[in-house]
């Protein structure tokens, strides 16, 4: 297999190409492992697509597609769907003009130095950080809407099963402490850092992208402080304003889109 050429990118920016690639992989590859989706898994899929339709800050054609997929799903009353039927709506451009999700993946900020590094899991983290920020910007009514959708999607469908288990444990432990849209942003940030901490140095780590407590001081100097005893402390207010601007739709770069 010939490798794709490396796409130069800015390490301190978010790319729409990664978000669309994550959507493609999730909706066309990960879900395709199921012939039939029903019960709790179907509820999880419904909430996931509904959150995407509501908050994905994408190109108009992609948002239209997510909306048409969402209305199709909400109209299903049989208690189960076949993946084949879902895929028809996903790929159908005739039914909803100006609605399409590009085929294939084009990783940019989520490229790895080897094909088994980064990519889809990186895209999913990025996607959910963006969605928590979008829900806050647009004033979503339920602070847990995005995180619950993520929790249930990961639990039912995410291919990395031990990742799903770890994430479910973190959600069980502390998701109930999230009362505001801002604390939802902060919860995801801090749990992502816990994962970074746990798996730093593991074989799954891309040597060109070491796991760090993020954002590093170069990216956000004011996020970092030192307590009287000399220990590192986050300045949560600064972290929140950093996240809100870093993952804002206006900061997302559109390089390398089809």
β-bridge pairing 224-226 and 36-38:
unpaired
For the segment 13-32, give every residue that binds ligand FAD (CB under 6 A): none
Q: Is 189 in the site for ligand FAD (CB under 6 A)?
A: yes
Binder among 61, 196, 236, 241 for ligand FAD (CB under 6 A): 196
Give the x-and-dash track for 60-99 against ligand FAD (CB under 6 A).
----------------------------------------
Rank residues 97 and 221 by Cβ distance to ligand FAD and give the closer one.
221
Binder among 88, 114, 214, 217 for ligand FAD (CB under 6 A): 214
Q: Are 46 and 74 in contact (CB under 8 A)?
A: yes
Count interface residues toward ligand FAD (CB under 6 A).
Answer: 25
* Closest distance to ligand FAD from the beta carbon of 23 (Å): 14
Q: Is 126 in the site for ligand FAD (CB under 6 A)?
A: yes
Question: What distances in angstroms separate CA 66 from CA 49, 60, 157, 174, one per listed residue?
Answer: 7, 10, 18, 30
Q: Is 170 in the site for ligand FAD (CB under 6 A)?
A: no
Binder among 42, 51, 105, 124 for ligand FAD (CB under 6 A): 124
The full 3-state SS of the chain, as one line of letters, equals: CCCCCCCCCCCCCCEHHHHHHHHHHHHHHHHHHCCEEEHHHHHHHHHHHHHHHHHCCCCHHHHHHHHHHHHHHHHCCCCEEEHHHHHHHHHCCCCCCCCCCCCCCCCCCCCCCCCCCCCHHHHHHHHHHHHHHHHHHCCCCCCCHHHHHHHHHHHHHCCCHHHHHHHHHHHHHHHHHCCCHHHHHHHHHHHHHHHHHHHCCCCCCCCCCCCCCCCCCCCCHHHEEECCCCCEEECHHHHHHHHHHHCCHHHCECCCCC
Stretch that binds ligand FAD, among 64-72, 85-93, 124-132, 224-232 (CB under 6 A): 124-132
Stretch that binds ligand FAD, among 35-43, 61-69, 115-123, 131-139 (CB under 6 A): 115-123
Rank residues 78 and 202 by Cβ distance to ligand FAD and give the closer one.
202
Q: Is 125 in the site for ligand FAD (CB under 6 A)?
A: yes
Q: Is 240 in the site for ligand FAD (CB under 6 A)?
A: no
Rank residues 89 and 149 by Cβ distance to ligand FAD and give the closer one.
149
Q: Which residues contact ligand FAD (rule: CB under 6 A)?
A: 110, 118, 121-122, 124-126, 129, 154, 160, 162-163, 166-167, 189, 192-193, 195-196, 199, 202, 204, 206, 209, 214
């Amino acid at each position: 297999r010939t490798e794709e050429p490396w796409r130069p990118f800015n390490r301190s920016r978010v790319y729409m190409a990664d978000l669309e690639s994550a959507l493609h992989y999730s909706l066309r590859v990960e879900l395709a492992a199921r012939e039939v989706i029903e019960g709790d898994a179907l509820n999880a899929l419904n909430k996931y697509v509904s959150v995407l339709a509501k908050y994905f800050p994408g190109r108009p054609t992609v948002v239209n597609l997510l909306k048409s997929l969402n209305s199709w799903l909400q109209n299903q009353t049989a208690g189960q769907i076949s993946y084949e039927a879902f895929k028809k709506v996903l790929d159908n451009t005739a039914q909803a003009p100006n609605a399409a999700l590009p085929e294939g993946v084009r990783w940019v900020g989520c490229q790895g130095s080897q094909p088994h590094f980064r990519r889809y899991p990186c895209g999913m983290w990025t996607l959910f950080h963006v969605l928590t920020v979008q829900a806050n910007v647009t004033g979503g009514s339920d602070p847990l809407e995005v995180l619950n959708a993520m929790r249930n999607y990961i639990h039912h469908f995410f291919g990395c099963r031990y990742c799903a288990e770890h994430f479910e444990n973190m959600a069980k432990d502390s998701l109930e402490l999230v009362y505001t849209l801002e604390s939802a942003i902060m919860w995801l940030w801090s749990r992502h850092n816990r994962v970074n901490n746990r798996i730093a140095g593991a074989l799954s780590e891309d040597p060109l992208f070491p796991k760090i407590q993020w954002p590093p001081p170069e990216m956000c100097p004011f996020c970092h402080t030192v307590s009287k005893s000399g220990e590192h402390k986050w300045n949560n207010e600064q972290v929140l304003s950093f996240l809100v601007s870093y993952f804002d739709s206006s900061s997302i770069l559109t390089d390398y889109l089809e």
